[in-house]
Chains A and B, each alone.
Chain A
Amino acid sequence: DQQVKQNSPSLSVQEGRISILNCDYTNSMFDYFLWYKKYPAEGPTFLISISSIKDKNEDGRFTVFLNKSAKHLSLHIVPSQPGDSAVYFCAASAENDMRFGAGTRLTVKP
C-alpha cells in the first residue's frame, strides 16, 4: 500500500526550461512534506520542505506547491540546469513515520 506516489518514473527537460515533478498522497494525516534529491552511489539529500499549513515554499530555483484538497504536491525547478539531473523523491510524514515515493529520474539536457 503505497501512501505516497510518484507516477512519472522519468522526466527529460531542456536546460533553462522548467522542470515539474509531481507527487500524490493518500493519507490525510500527513502534515509535513519534503523533497530529496539523489545522485548515483550516494544517499538522498534534503532539498526543500513544506508544512501542511502552507501552500507554497520557495528556495532559490526550487518551489514546492501543496494542494491539500487534491492531496497533491509538486516541485518546480526554474531554470533547470544539467547538474539537477538526479532522482527526486517526495516524502510525507506523520508523527515519527515518513513515507517516500518511488522517485522520478530527472534528466536535464544541455
Chain B
Amino acid sequence: NAGVTQTPKFQVLKTGQSMTLQCAQDMNHEYMSWYRQDPGMGLRLIHYSVGAGITDQGEVPNGYNVSRSTTEDFPLRLLSAAPSQTSVYFCASTFGTVNSPLHFGNGTRLTVT
C-alpha cells in the first residue's frame, strides 16, 4: 500500500517558469490538501478538496492552482514561479473530514531562483 505519493522529490525552477507538483493516493480518501512548510511558519494550507470536482482555497492560495478530476489525484500547479514560492510542499489526504488524521506524502523540495 503506497499511501500518498508525491513527485518530484526535488525541483529547481527559474522565476517565471511553471510546473505541476503531482500527488496521488491509493486509499480512496475523499479529502486531499496541499501544504507548504517554511522555517518558523509551520505548515500552511494552500488548497484543499473534499471530493472529485470540488476544490477550495486555504490560507495561502495565491500563485497556485489545483484541480481534482479523480479521487486519487490532486496536482498543484505553479503558474509563474516566484522566489517566495521556494518551500517544501506536502500533499495530505484523509477519509472523511479534516478532523480525521491526515496522511502525508514525503514532500517536494522546490527552489525558485
> In this complex, what residue of B is CB-closest to A33?
B99
Binary flags per residue of A50-61, CB closer than 8 Å to B gives 1, else 0: 000000000000
Known: A42-B106, A43-B106, A44-B90. A100 touches B44 (CB 8 A): yes
CB of A44 to closest CB in B, whole Å:
5
> For the side of the interface on B, what is the size category?
20 to 34
How many chain A residues touch the partner (CB < 8 A)? 27
Number of residue pairs A-B, CB distance < 8 angstroms: 63
CA distance A89 to B9 in the complex (A): 22
Q: Which of B33, B48, B59, B104 contacts A43 (CB 8 A)?
A: B104
Q: Collect the chain B residues with CB atoms within 8 Å of residue A93's CB.
A: 98-99
Binary flags per residue of B55-75, CB closer than 8 Å to A gives 1, else 0: 010110000000000000000
Which positions in B face A, CB cutoff 8 Å? 4, 31, 33, 35, 40-45, 48, 50, 56, 58-59, 90, 92, 97-99, 101-107
Q: Collect the chain A residues with CB atoms within 8 Å of residue B56's CB.
A: 96
Which positions in A face B, CB cutoff 8 Å? 2, 4, 6, 9, 31-32, 34, 36, 41-46, 49, 89, 91, 93, 95-103
**Most A C-beta atoms less than 10 A away, residue of B50, B56, B98:** B98
